[in-house]
């Protein structure tokens, strides 16, 4: 009866799995094709990027956005099948450079993820100065090109069911304006032009009013939000002002405006009350996500601005928790340590937290005293003199050079002190050199304190690192500006190395070179920066060129992306800062060359990025590649050229080398082959444990359930490997995998518990513990999975895998229990094996013949512990790093788990082998029986006989 129940469970689970993986497929009408979770249209018509965007949007779609590795691989596979000529290998996708924010964004609003879609070597290079659109190569990499280049293009109906059909509904947008109130509406006249317009958005820092010229029109709109509503518009479009403004330059071709579904609905209602219809958007009646829709019209149109929030959101920043605050208010909160209060302004236009809070009152008293000295100076509040500045700098070095970590407020106020202490005019070269050396020591100490502050959040360390970098640049260049004679100052500390040059430009005939020392074998070693003589002439003032070089050895590890969950790059070199004071370095006459030694060897398939820290990006800056190109690279060194000066570094993909399509294909074949072998092995093991009566025992029941859980998990994995394009099915598959793998590990723990019970009870099996094993074996996983799903069901299923997301630590709902089981099992099995080896005469005093079998049992359990443990240790690293090596190791181990279990628990088990031999013996004798004599089996002293 128990065996029949087990068979019925396997059958029912197979039916459930089939229903999950075959339900609700996305249907795409021709010529659209299903790729991953969307419908795609591959159009073999040469168009510019803007024209291609307009053509896609006419069908209610957009240029394709690539958001996952699975989506990219399936797109590459389809392109390979339809391309017939060599010149058809590059296609437009929805990726464009946002010049105001120096980032590449997809048409769905997401930032480029270099881990999924890397750039081709040396790209993006903006070689022609206006390469702001991206083309996708069938090899899986991107290239920046001019937007007026003509390419084939890919439209995407983004994750919507049902897909677009040829019949569409025209949603009219009229230029006739209405003043909207609660109860009444009135029509007003419109301002018009006769050109097709293109609108692209770029953030404006201050209020702007729309102006118009024969070539360009500037329009202002609000940033769209989820709760966007149309605001009333003014009768005079040229003087309309809104909040959270964006400047929108409008060219006379290629229309482009941000429209949300709610905006379209509202505009449609407005248009129904007006007889005049000046433009329309052709689109499906299906609800669309927020996109940038092109508009082709014959009149100038002012798009009504959506309303957004009136409060700054809750934030955890600068070591403090800032509650939601109404716009225009200054929030005061008590310091985390000490008696002071911190303040942060919630801005009105736009509604957001201002650049930085005032946390000076939260700093330690010793730093407050230093701040008072540097701010007030002498009793009459006259500026501090050089001698006092040197003393303050030395005190700052002493106060930062302590074992006790500094708080965020201490680091923040210290950077302010660094800037203020240099507002002096050194009276001698000796004073200048002394002050610069003290500044370098203080900066090095601040970096060290940031590094060892374990209780400071990662985001706050990022802000601190950016603040230190900026403060050191400002303070050292201020010192350089104060020096009016040619001089070279060189100094270094643990975390920082500085060289300050003041050179007479009349004596300059060749490039100014920093670093570039030769190693023992004569090969260039270390970092090198070369500034051409023409650039030195360009930045000179009164015949003197002033340049400060700084090398930061450890600060780069904190300069990461603001959104830590999307981090895809890491610093692969030291950070080299090159600053020249107040001279304009945005457009140099010749590029500056810098050659940086890599901290680790890079693979030939890796794409290094020549990057600089853009302080104007985001809250505290971000890495950007604008104006910098790779000119040469080796596995240990990258040489770059940049047309501006700032802080440089080499970035690499944090996930390692992106796997090629060839590796993906090989891994897929290994997975299918290995899983099929594993399933056959597990099923054979399951039949063995169920059908051979002499094997029945509590231990056998444990093995039976362990094998069943692994069989269900492997079957789910095999069937669900390609289900990422169906979001609900993918989530269910991830949940099932989570449950069955946890159950397998829990049953493995039950086996270890059973071993301990046998050691304690010495084979006294009068009392069965099987019901408790079932309760724990399936109850614990159910609780964990239910808790995870209850907290956030979207944690199950990602665009890359039908598995748990690694965001927000949800992966630890699997990794945590698994690590606990592995550690507990290791301790139990080690104890059991040592006990058996040392006290076998005592432990097996009643049944000495079983000592060998018991040892074999422990050895089998230990082998299973090692197998499953290694599999998921490599699995954890693979899911976090996705390197080729980890992928192969995890795939092979995961695919062959069933085979190893069959070998260890069946083929290498003497008792099981004997039962196999008896079955073979029976099958050979059965045909020899007389037809009149019934065959029967009876058990006699542990053997079968006829």
- Ranked by mean pLDDT, the top range of 177-186, 317-326, 830-839 is 317-326
Cis peptide before 644 (omega within 30 of 0): no
DSSP 903: I
- At residue 153, does pLDDT exceed 80? yes
The residue written with tokens 């090596």 in the block is: 885
In the chain, what is the straight-line distance between the N-terminal and C-terminal CA atoms, in Å?
Answer: 25
Q: Give me the pLDDT at residue 306, please.
A: 34
- What whole-number distance in Å separates Cα of residue 579 and Cα of residue 531? 11
* The token pair that represents 543 in the structure block: 């015949």
Whats the size of the chain, residue-wise? 946
**Region 365-653: CATH code:** 2.60.220.50
* Enclosing H/E stretch for 504: strand 496-504
Instruction: Pick the closest to residue 656 from 933, 813, 837, 886 (CA basis).
Output: 886
The residue that leads in pLDDT, 770 or 161, is 770
Cα distances (Å, whole numbers) of residue 115 to 69, 142, 389, 566, 612: 8, 12, 47, 9, 19
Q: Give me the pLDDT at residue 784, please.
A: 94
**pLDDT tens for residues 101-112?**
678 889 888 888
- What whole-number distance in Å separates Cα of residue 301 and Cα of residue 196? 10
The yes/no answer on whether domain 311-362 falls in CATH 4.10.1240.10 is yes
* The token pair that represents 799 in the structure block: 């665009």
Question: 629 with 120: CB under 8 angstroms?
Answer: no
Among 236-240, 371-375, 599-603, name the one with the lowest average pLDDT. 236-240
For residues 478-500, average pLDDT: 87
* The token pair that represents 919 in the structure block: 């079955």
- What whole-number distance in Å separates Cα of residue 86 and Cα of residue 930? 75
Sign of CA dihedral 724, 725, 726, 728: positive
Q: Give me the pLDDT at residue 192, please.
A: 33
CATH architecture of 668-915: Up-down Bundle (1.20)
Question: HEC states along 707-764?
Answer: HHHHHHHHHHHHHHCCCCCCHHHHHHHHHHHHHHHHHHHHHHHHHHHHHHHHHHHCCC
- What whole-number distance in Å separates Cα of residue 725 and Cα of residue 160? 11
For residues 456-473, average pLDDT: 80
Q: Give me the pLDDT at residue 739, please.
A: 93
- What whole-number distance in Å separates Cα of residue 196 and Cα of residue 295? 8
- At residue 755, does pLDDT exceed 70? yes
Q: Give me the pLDDT at residue 481, please.
A: 82
Q: Give me the pLDDT at residue 542, please.
A: 85
Q: Give me the pLDDT at residue 209, please.
A: 32
| pTM more than 0.85 | no
Q: Give me the pLDDT at residue 272, please.
A: 33
- At residue 865, does pLDDT exceed 60? yes
- Ranked by mean pLDDT, the top range of 116-120, 539-543, 869-873 is 539-543
Among 131-135, 692-696, 761-765, 781-785, name the one with the lowest average pLDDT. 761-765
Q: Give me the pLDDT at residue 603, please.
A: 63
Q: Give me the pLDDT at residue 264, please.
A: 34
CATH architecture of 33-157: Roll (3.10)
Beta bridge partners of 212: 217
- What whole-number distance in Å separates Cα of residue 92 and Cα of residue 48? 8
For residues 159-167, average pLDDT: 41
Question: 200 with 100: CB under 8 angstroms?
Answer: no
Beta bridge partners of 514: 529
DSSP 62: E
∠ at Cα 574 (572, 575), nearest 5°? 110
**pLDDT tens for residues 22-57?**
555 567 888 888 887 788 999 988 899 999 998 998
- At residue 216, does pLDDT exceed 60? no
The residue that leads in pLDDT, 671 or 743, is 743
The residue that leads in pLDDT, 257 or 905, is 905
Question: 729 with 723: CB under 8 angstroms?
Answer: yes
- What whole-number distance in Å separates Cα of residue 157 and Cα of residue 180? 34
Instruction: Pick the closest to residue 141 from 88, 91, 85 (CA basis).
Output: 91
Q: Give me the pLDDT at residue 878, please.
A: 61
How confident is residue 912, by pLDDT bands cut at 50, 70 and 90? confident
- At residue 69, does pLDDT exceed 80? no
The residue that leads in pLDDT, 708 or 111, is 708
- What whole-number distance in Å separates Cα of residue 426 and Cα of residue 415? 21
Q: Count CA atoms closer than 13 A to 51's CA, side-chain side.
A: 10
Q: Give me the pLDDT at residue 257, please.
A: 36
- At residue 778, does pLDDT exceed 90? yes
* The token pair that represents 187 in the structure block: 């029509």
* Enclosing H/E stretch for 142: strand 142-145
- At residue 482, does pLDDT exceed 70? yes
Ordered by start, the domain boundaries in the chain are 33-157, 169-293, 311-362, 365-653, 668-915
In sequence order, what are the residues at sequence separation of 6 or more whose Cβ sits closer than 8 angstroms to the Cβ of residue 729? Answer: 20, 21, 23, 24, 720, 723, 802
Phi, psi (degrees; rounded to nearest 5) at 610? -75, 115
**pLDDT tens for residues 413-457?**
888 888 888 777 777 778 888 888 898 998 888 888 877 765 666
Q: Give me the pLDDT at residue 188, please.
A: 32
Percent of the chain with pLDDT over 90: 10
The residue that leads in pLDDT, 536 or 217, is 536
Question: 93 with 134: CB under 8 angstroms?
Answer: yes
- At residue 386, does pLDDT exceed 80? no
Question: 602 with 149: CB under 8 angstroms?
Answer: no
**pLDDT tens for residues 666-678?**
877 888 888 888 8
- At residue 940, does pLDDT exceed 60? no
How confident is residue 485, by pLDDT bands cut at 50, 70 and 90? confident
| Mean pLDDT score of the chain | 71
Among 43-52, 143-152, 818-827, name the one with the lowest average pLDDT. 818-827
- At residue 644, does pLDDT exceed 80? yes
- At residue 170, does pLDDT exceed 80? no
Task: Print burial letters for 4-39: b (CB count within 10 Å at least 16), e (below 16).
Answer: eebeeeeeebeeebeebbeeeebebeeebebbbbbb
For residues 366-378, average pLDDT: 77
What does DSSP say about strands 151-157 and 90-98: parallel, antiparallel, or unpaired?
parallel
Phi, psi (degrees; rounded to nearest 5) at 759? -65, -40
Cα 651 → chain centroid: 15
């Amino acid at each position: 009866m128990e065996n029949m129940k087990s068979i019925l469970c396997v059958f029912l689970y197979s039916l459930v799995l089939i229903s999950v993986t075959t339900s609700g497929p996305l249907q795409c009408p021709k010529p659209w094709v299903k790729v991953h979770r969307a419908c795609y249209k591959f159009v073999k018509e040469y168009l510019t990027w803007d024209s291609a965007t307009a053509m896609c949007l006419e069908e209610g779609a957009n240029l394709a956005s690539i958001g996952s590795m699975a989506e990219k691989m399936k797109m590459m596979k389809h392109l390979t099948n339809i391309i017939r000529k060599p010149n058809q290998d590059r296609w437009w996708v929805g990726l464009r450079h946002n010049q105001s924010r120096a980032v590449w964004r997809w048409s769905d609003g997401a930032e480029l993820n270099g881990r999924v879609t890397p750039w081709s070597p040396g790209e993006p290079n903006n070689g022609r100065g206006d390469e702001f659109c991206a083309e996708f190569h069938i090899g899986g990499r991107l290239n920046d090109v001019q937007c007026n280049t003509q390419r084939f293009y890919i439209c995407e109906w983004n994750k919507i069911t049902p897909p677009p059909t040829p019949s569409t509904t025209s949603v009219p947008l009229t230029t006739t304006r209405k003043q909207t109130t609660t109860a009444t509406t009135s029509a007003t006249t419109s301002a018009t032009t006769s050109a097709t317009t293109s609108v692209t958005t770029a953030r404006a820092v201050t209020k702007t009013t729309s102006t118009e010229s024969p070539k360009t029109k500037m329009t202002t709109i609000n940033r769209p939000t989820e709760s966007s509503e149309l605001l009333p518009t003014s009768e005079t479009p040229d003087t309309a002002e809104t909040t959270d403004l964006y400047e929108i330059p409008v060219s006379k071709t290629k229309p482009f405006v941000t429209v949300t579904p709610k905006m379209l609905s509202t505009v449609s209602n407005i248009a129904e009350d007006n007889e005049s219809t000046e433009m329309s958007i052709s689109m499906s009646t299906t609800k669309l996500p927020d996109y940038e829709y092109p508009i082709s019209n014959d009149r100038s149109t002012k798009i009504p601005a959506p309303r957004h929030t009136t409060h700054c959101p809750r934030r955890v920043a600068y070591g403090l928790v800032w509650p939601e605050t109404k716009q225009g208010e200054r929030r005061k909160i008590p310091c985390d340590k000490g008696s002071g209060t911190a303040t942060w302004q919630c801005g009105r236009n736009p509604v957001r937290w201002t650049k930085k809070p005032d946390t000076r009152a939260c700093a330690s008293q010793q730093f407050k005293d230093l701040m008072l000295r540097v701010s007030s100076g002498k009793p009459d509040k006259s500026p501090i003199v050089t001698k006092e500045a040197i003393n303050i700098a030395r005190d700052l070095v002493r106060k930062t050079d302590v074992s006790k970590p500094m708080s965020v407020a201490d680091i923040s106020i210290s950077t302010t002190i660094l800037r203020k202490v240099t507002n002096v005019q050194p009276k001698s070269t000796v004073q200048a050199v002394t002050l610069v050396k003290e500044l370098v020591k203080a900066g090095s100490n601040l970096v060290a304190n940031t590094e060892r502050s374990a209780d400071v959040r990662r985001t706050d360390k990022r802000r601190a690192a950016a603040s230190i970098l900026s403060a050191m640049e400002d303070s050292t260049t201020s010192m350089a500006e104060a020096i009016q004679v040619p001089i070279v100052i060189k100094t270094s500390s643990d975390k920082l190395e500085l060289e300050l040059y003041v050179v007479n430009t009349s004596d300059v005939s060749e490039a100014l070179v920093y670093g570039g020392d030769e190693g023992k074998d004569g090969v260039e070693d270390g970092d090198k920066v070369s500034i051409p003589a023409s650039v030195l002439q360009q930045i000179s003032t009164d015949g003197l060129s002033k340049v400060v070089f700084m090398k930061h050895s450890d600060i780069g590890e904190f300069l990461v992306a603001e959104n830590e969950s999307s981090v895809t790059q890491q610093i692969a070199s030291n950070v080299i800062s090159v600053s020249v004071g107040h001279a304009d370095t945005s457009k140099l006459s010749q590029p500056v060359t810098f050659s940086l030694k890599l901290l680790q060897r890079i693979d030939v398939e890796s794409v290094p990025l020549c990057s600089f820290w853009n302080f104007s990006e985001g809250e505290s800056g971000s890495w950007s590649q604008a104006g910098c190109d790779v000119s040469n690279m080796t596995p240990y060194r990258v040489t770059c050229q940049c047309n501006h000066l700032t802080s440089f570094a080499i970035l690499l993909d944090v996930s390692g080398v992106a796997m090629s399509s060839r590796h993906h294909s090989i891994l897929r074949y290994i997975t299918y082959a290995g899983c099929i072998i594993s399933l056959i092995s597990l099923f054979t093991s399951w039949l063995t444990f169920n059908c051979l009566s002499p094997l029945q025992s509590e231990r056998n029941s444990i093995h039976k359930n362990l094998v069943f859980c692994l069989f269900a998990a492997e079957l789910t994995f095999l069937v669900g490997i390609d289900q990422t394009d169906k979001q609900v099915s993918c989530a269910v598959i991830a949940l099932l995998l989570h449950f069955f793998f946890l159950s397998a590990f829990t049953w493995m723990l039950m086996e270890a518990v059973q071993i301990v019970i046998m050691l304690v009870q010495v084979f006294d099996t009068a009392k069965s513990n099987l019901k408790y094993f079932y309760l724990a074996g399936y109850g614990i996983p159910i609780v964990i999975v239910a808790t995870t799903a209850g907290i956030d069901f979207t944690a199950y299923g990602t665009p890359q895998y039908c598995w748990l997301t690694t965001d927000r630590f949800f992966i630890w709902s699997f990794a945590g229990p698994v690590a606990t089981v592995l550690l507990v099992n290791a301790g139990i099995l080690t104890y059991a094996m040592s006990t058996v080896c040392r006290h076998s005469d005592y432990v097996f005093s009643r049944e000495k013949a079983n000592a060998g079998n018991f040892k074999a049992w422990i050895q089998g359990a230990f082998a299973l512990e090692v197998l499953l443990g290694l599999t998921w240790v490599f699995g954890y690293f693979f899911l976090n790093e996705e390197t080729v090596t980890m992928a192969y190791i995890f795939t092979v181990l995961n695919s062959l788990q069933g085979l190893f279990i069959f070998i260890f628990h069946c083929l290498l088990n003497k008792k099981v082998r004997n039962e196999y031999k008896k079955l073979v013996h029976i099958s050979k004798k059965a045909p020899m029986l007389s037809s009149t004599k019934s065959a029967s089996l009876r058990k006699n002293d542990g053997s079968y006989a006829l």
